[in-house]
Amino acid sequence: MKPKVIVYKKIDTTVLAYLSENCEVTYFETLDSQSLPSFYQELKNATGIIGSGLKVDAKLLDLAPQLKVISNISVGYDNLDMPEISKRNIMATNTPEVLNDSVADTIFGLLLATARRMPELNQLVKSGGWTAQVGEGLYGVDVHHKKLGIIGMGGIGSAIAKRAHFGFDMPILYHNRSRNTEAEQTFQATYYSLEELCQQADFICLMTPLTPNTVKLIGEKEFKLMKKTAIFVNGSRGATVDEDALVHALQNGEILAAGLDVFAQEPVSPDHPLLGMDNVVTLPHIGSATHETRLKMANLAAESLVIGLQGKMPQTLINQEVFAEVQ
C-alpha cells in the first residue's frame, strides 16, 4: 500500500506526477477557509505532508498521528516547531543550496536598485516627469568598491559575496555564528563583530535564518551605529529586524536607504510607513521566485519526502537525530 501524502501548495505537474507514482496523494493548491476543514480531516491518516508556509506546531501535529515526514519547500523552516516535531520522531526536511544563486541575484539586484534609485526613477520616466536633465536631487550612490557587510555567511550569503567580490570589487565584511574560512579564502572576507560591521560597512545585507536568537537582531542600537550613508538590505525574514527602529532610522537620516524583500507581517499592510518612503525599495518576498528555481525546490522536497517515507535518510534532513530513533 502506498503511503498517504498531502500536498498543500501548488506545484508543477511533473512533481505531482512523481509523488503520485510513489504515494497516494491528496492535493490542495492552497489552504484557505474553504479547504482547511478538508485538509485537517485528511491529516488523520497522512504519513507525509509537503508544502511551504504552514505553521506546523503541536496543535496541528495532534491531528496527524500517523505523520512520519514533513517536507518544507523552503530553505527556512521557522514555520516548523522543530522541538515538537523531533519529540514525536517525525523527520523534517527543507530545500537548501538549490536556491542560493537565485536568492543572491534578487538580493544583489535589490541592493543595486536601492543604491541607484531605480524604482523611483522608473516611475519618474513612466509618469512623464522626465522633462529635463536629471539633477543632483535624483542621483544615487556608487556600489563598486564600497564595503559590503553580510550578516549570515551561509550558502546565500556566500553567493552574494561572490557577486560583490568578483563583479564589483567590493571588500567583504561578515558576521556569522562561526568563522567561514572558505569565504575568507575565496572572497578575502574579513570577520567582524556585529557592532564593528555596522560601523564599517557601506552596504549591510541581513541574511540570517530566523531563530529565537535572531528575532529583532537589527534594531535601534545597530541602526545608530551605521553610517549615515549606509544602505540596509534585508533578505532574511522580517522578524529579524525591529521595523519601528528601521522606520525611525530612515526618517531621522541615521541611514540613507533600505531595500526589503521581507516584512514582519506578510503581505505587508498597504499603510505601513515603510511603503510611503522614496528611499525604501520593496519586494514581495520573491527571493527564490523564478520558474527554474521553484521547480528545483519542489523536486528536491518531493524526493526527500519519498526517500523519508521509504525509511531512508533524506540528504536534506533537518533533525538527523530523529532518523536514528526511527530505525
pLDDT value of position 15: 98
Active site residue 237: yes
Q: Domain limits of the chain?
A: 4-96+291-326, 100-282
Beta-carbon-side half-sphere exposure of residue 222 (alpha carbons within 13 Å) = 24
- What does the pLDDT read at residue 323? 81
Fold matches, 4-96+291-326 and 100-282: yes
In this structure, of 90-94, 270-274, 283-287, 318-322, the range with the lowest mean pLDDT score is 318-322
Give the tens place of pLDDT for each residue, 41-66.
999 999 999 999 999 999 999 999 99
Catalytic residue among 21, 182, 266, 325: 266
Q: Note if 285 is an active site residue.
A: yes
Enter the C-alpha cell of residue 175.
558576521
Q: How many CB atoms lie within 10 A of CB 221?
A: 12
- pLDDT tens by residue, 214-273: 999 999 999 999 999 999 999 999 999 999 999 999 999 999 999 999 999 999 999 999
Strand partners, 259: 233, 281
**Residue 1: band (very low, low, confident or very high) from pLDDT cuts 50, 70, 90:** confident
Q: What pLDDT does residue 324 have?
A: 73
Cβ–Cβ < 8 Å for 198, 204 = yes
Predicted local distance difference test score (pLDDT) of residue 327: 60
Cα–Cα separations (whole angstroms), residue 86 to 3, 57, 105, 318, 320: 20, 11, 34, 10, 9
From the candidates 237, 243, 254, 303, which is the catalytic residue? Answer: 237
**With 0-12 CB in 10 A as exposed, 13-18 as middle and 19+ as buried, what is 230?**
buried
The answer to whether the bond into 267 is cis (omega within 30° of 0) is yes
Query: Thinking of the domain 4-96+291-326, which architecture would CATH place it in?
Result: 3-Layer(aba) Sandwich (3.40)
pLDDT of residue 118: 98
Catalytic residue among 117, 175, 285, 294: 285
How many other CB atoms sit within 10 Å of the CB of residue 87? 13
For the chain, what percent of residues have pLDDT higher than 90? 98
Check: CB of residue 206 under 8 Å from CB of residue 234: yes
What's the pLDDT score for residue 326? 61
Fold designation for 100-282: Rossmann fold (3.40.50)
pLDDT in tens, 114-164: 999 999 999 999 999 999 999 999 999 999 999 999 999 999 999 999 999
Mean pLDDT of the chain: 96
Question: What percent of the chain has pLDDT above 70?
Answer: 99
Question: 204: which strand partners?
Answer: 149, 232
- Whether residue 179 lies in the annotated active site: no
Residue 79 CA to residue 296 CA, distance in Å, equals 21
